[in-house]
Structure 1
Amino acid sequence: MVFYFESSVVSPPVLLFMGLDKYENEDLIKWGWPEDVWFHVDKVSSAHVYLRLRPGQTIDDIPSSVLEDAAQLVKANSIMGNKMNDIEVVYTMWHNLKKTPAMEVGQVGFHKEKEVRKIKVAKRVNEIVNRLNRTKREEHPDFRAEREKRDRLEREDKKKVLREQKEREKEEEKRKKEEAELKSYNSLMSTENMSKYDDGNDSDDFM
């Protein structure tokens, strides 16, 4: 089961989501998308909250208001973190999450620590948490099927772009060829005209 929340601090609203428990978290880690940003309370057990970026967006494009919503949602869904003030929430792109066989269910590390960012949360803001909870809904997605569909569509888009690029290259090649043929034809016509009006007499004397 996955819980979805709508953050309406931007337009259009964005979705934040998290697994029911560590087993759902494990599936989210395994079948995450390259566009997913992962959030977690630093050094304390908490829910794994995700934000899915839109095509073309990067982690630098996330508005501060959305970061605050995600951080408050993570804090509110941490037994220890919810009781504490002045905590830090870490976030990074999904592809930076590191999972090894020795790790417990739902536990993750990072491939590159320098790609992990932090946001400070002074205290719980009930106004934000309550606003997000009013949008909460439960779903039972097939993580693997959704990821495979996403990858298939990406491959199809890449093939389409490649086909269009090849068509443009063919058109450009055809245009250059026609221009070269036209230039050659014009040059030939110019040479023929010179020969036609040349009588072989270099003298200017008409007598």
Structure 2
Amino acid sequence: MVLYFKARPEAGDYTIFMGIDKYENEELIRYGFIEDIWFHVDKMSSAHVYLRLNKGQTMDDISEGLLEDCAQLVKANSIQGNKVNNVDIVYTPWQNLKKTASMDVGQVGFHNPKMVRTIRVEKRINDVVNRLNKTKVERKPDLKAEVEAVGAAERAERKQHLREKKRREDLDRLEKEKQADLRSYKNLMVAEKMTSNKDVAAGGSKSLQELEDDFM
């Protein structure tokens, strides 16, 4: 089961979600999107909370209010972290999460520690937590199917772009060939390079009338 929450409206149309237990967290670790940002209480047990950004966005695009929503939700869903003040929350892109066979269920590491950021939460803000909980929806998604569907759509989009690119290149090539043919034809039709029947007659033994009669 995955729990979904809506971030504050003024931050934009963003979804925050988390697994209901460590086994669901394992699925979220496995089947994520590059737009997902992972949140967790530092050095304490807590829920794995994710924020799904829009395509092309990075951690630098997370507003202060949106960051507060995610951090408060993580703290509120940590048995130990919810009881104390001045809790550190770490967050990083989903693709930076590292999972090895030796790790326990739900446990993760990082490929690049420099991509991990920290925010200090001084205390729980009930207004924020209560607002988020009012938007909570429980669903049991097929995470693997969702990832595969998005991947298929992205591949189809890339193929379409390649087809459009090839079409533009073919049109450009045909236009260049057309222009080259026109330039070649114009060179052939330059007056200085043209020879009249009169010129031919002047240089040969036949008269102009005889040449014209031959042509006819």
Question: Could you state the TM-score of these two structures normalised by the residue count of structure 1?
Answer: 0.91
Aligned structure 1 segments of 4 or more residues deviating by more than 6 angstroms: none
Letter in 2 for 1:54: N
Q: Percent identity?
A: 56
The residue that corresponds to 1:146 in the other structure is: 146
The residue that corresponds to 1:119 in the other structure is: 119
Matching of residues 64-103 of structure 1 within 5 Å: 64-103=64-103
Letter in 1 for 2:122: A
How far apart are residue 195 of structure 1 and its match? 3.7
- The DSSP-based 3-state class of the residue aligned with 1:10 is helix
The residue that corresponds to 1:31 in the other structure is: 31
Letter in 2 for 1:186: K
Separation of aligned partners in 2, 1:52 and 1:11 = 13
- The DSSP-based 3-state class of the residue aligned with 1:120 is strand
Q: Tell me if the contact between 1:9 and 1:65 (Cα under 8 Å) persists in the aligned partners.
A: no
Provide the aligned C-alpha RMSD in A: 1.7
Q: Tell me if the contact between 1:9 and 1:66 (Cα under 8 Å) persists in the aligned partners.
A: no
Q: Tell me if the contact between 1:10 and 1:66 (Cα under 8 Å) persists in the aligned partners.
A: no
Separation of aligned partners in 2, 1:43 and 1:132 = 24
Letter in 2 for 1:194: E
Q: Tell me if the contact between 1:35 and 1:55 (Cα under 8 Å) persists in the aligned partners.
A: yes
Q: CA-to-partner distance for each residue in 1:44-80, whole Å, 9 max, x for gaps? A: 1100001111112122111121111100100010011
Q: Which runs of 5 or more structure 1 residues have no equivalent in the other structure?
A: 200-207
Residue 194 (structure 1) aligned to one of 186, 189, 192: 192
Letter in 2 for 1:88: D
Q: Tell me if the contact between 2:8 and 2:69 (Cα under 8 Å) persists in the aligned partners.
A: no
How far apart are residue 124 of structure 1 and its match? 0.8
Q: Tell me if the contact between 2:32 and 2:94 (Cα under 8 Å) persists in the aligned partners.
A: yes
> Which one has the bigger helix percentage?
2
Letter in 1 for 2:59: I
The residue that corresponds to 2:168 in the other structure is: 168
